[in-house]
Amino acid sequence: MRAFISKRWITILQVTVFLIALTACQLTQKIAPSLGVQSTNQGDSGTTPVDVVFGPGSFRLEDPRIGLVDLSSYKATLTLSFAGTQDNQPSQWSHTFVMLANQENAAHQVTIEAAGGDPAPVFMLEMNGVSYELEGEKNCSASTTPAGSSLSATWELAGFLPGVIGAEAAGSETMNGVAADHYTFDERALGEAGFSKSSGQVWVASETGVVVRYLLTTSAGADYFGKGIEGAQTWEYNLTDINQPVTIDLPVGCPGGLVEAPLMPAAQSIRKLPGVTVYSIAGSIQDVFSFYREQLPALGWVVLSEPVAGDPLEVAVFVQGNQQLTVIGASMDNGVEVRLLMGTAPSP
């Protein structure tokens, strides 16, 4: 399968790189407390120890993703915006990221919209081991999700939030429908004293410790944002619909998921793609269709059409509700290639 990167993916990657660049120093400072609350600067003269000053409070939030894997479902929204100048010209932009998560069918959906509608909105979805990307209203691509590359691993929005060390307690209240403890912090809790001016607040669920709301505004210049850039960066994160029904539907026109059908015990060279499974056996076409005539009806499938015996390419069709499973057997020199195609059953 040919790999490609669309223009919108390039935009996503650029935003991600910017997010990572902004949080890189915080990640470095997170390690410092365990090493005696010191960091190092490496210059031409070698390594020089630098004291890191953190916030005066007792609250630490080193991983804002804490507790999310224990939720059955949720909606996370992150708005990242900037207002300032770049190369002495006004610069203002905003990106809104929304993730829906439903652990029941391992489904995650991410949408990204930019202020002004440019670039075009991005839609990504992962469900039952298949990843989808929707370009426009009809162009939907699908592929199996590589190990370690799920949306929850790469696009969990709480993972973009800077960690906090030394936030101060500010009482308790209900936030986003959850009893939460409120904390405030400044640039010291980010390990950025002397580099930026920041004002932040975070609300964490009193019972689970999950971050339900996070606000942060950081003002800085070129030393922080990069050459020629000066202004204020704002983060606003909200977690809502916690453990409430979250519907994630596959858009019309997207390929189906992985084929859920039994494979023959002697299956070899198995390839699973969205909507199709291909494998080979050392037996005959008759062995293939005898196997599926026995196995599929026991799983609730009904035979719609039988193969024509003696053809080098034989096809049988089974239906179950609105699903259609097509079994294709093709004779080869050393056996049979079997294709299982999952699709939508025709209307009666």
Higher pLDDT, 86 or 252: 86
Would the pLDDT of 147 be above 80? no
Give dist(CA 138, CA 228) in Å, integer: 40
Query: What's the pLDDT band for 4 if we cut at 50, 70, 90?
Result: very low
Higher pLDDT, 342 or 8: 342
Task: Render pLDDT for 236-264 as a digit per residue (tens, 0 to 9).
Answer: 999 999 999 888 887 776 766 678 889 99
CA distance to 23, 80, 269, 292, per residue, from 160 (Å): 8, 10, 40, 48
Report all structural domains of the chain as residue ranges with CATH numbers, in order of start.
7-240 (2.50.20), 268-344 (3.30.465)
Query: What's the pLDDT band for 342 if we cut at 50, 70, 90?
Result: confident
Amino acid identity of 120?
Answer: A
Highest mean pLDDT among 1-15, 79-93, 165-179, 255-269: 165-179
Other CB atoms within a 10 A radius of the CB of residue 145 amount to 20
Query: What's the pLDDT band for 40 if we cut at 50, 70, 90?
Result: very low
| Chain mean pLDDT for the chain | 82
Q: Is 106 helix (H, G, I), strand (E, B) or coil?
A: coil
CB-CB contact of 110 with 155 (8 Å): yes
Higher pLDDT, 35 or 157: 157
Task: Render pLDDT for 68-78 as a digit per residue (tens, 0 to 9).
Answer: 999 999 999 99
pLDDT of 291: 95
Residue 161's contacts (CB-CB under 8 Å, 6 or more residues apart) are 64, 78, 211, 214, 216, 235, 237
Lowest mean pLDDT among 18-22, 59-63, 229-233, 292-296: 18-22
Q: Is 224 helix (H, G, I), strand (E, B) or coil?
A: helix
Higher pLDDT, 278 or 247: 278
Give dist(CA 182, CA 206) in Å, integer: 9
CA distance to 9, 43, 53, 86, 224, per residue, from 194 (Å): 35, 18, 10, 22, 10
pLDDT of 72: 94
Of 184, 179, 178, nearest to 201 (Cα)? Answer: 184
Tokens encoding 235: 């983060």
CB-CB contact of 317 with 326 (8 Å): yes
pLDDT of 39: 38
Highest mean pLDDT among 30-34, 227-231, 246-250, 268-272: 227-231
pLDDT of 138: 62
Higher pLDDT, 311 or 342: 342
Q: Is 155 helix (H, G, I), strand (E, B) or coil?
A: coil
Higher pLDDT, 81 or 275: 81
Would the pLDDT of 27 be above 80? no
Query: What's the pLDDT band for 300 if we cut at 50, 70, 90?
Result: very high
Lowest mean pLDDT among 227-236, 256-265, 331-340: 256-265
CB-CB contact of 79 with 95 (8 Å): yes
pLDDT of 13: 43
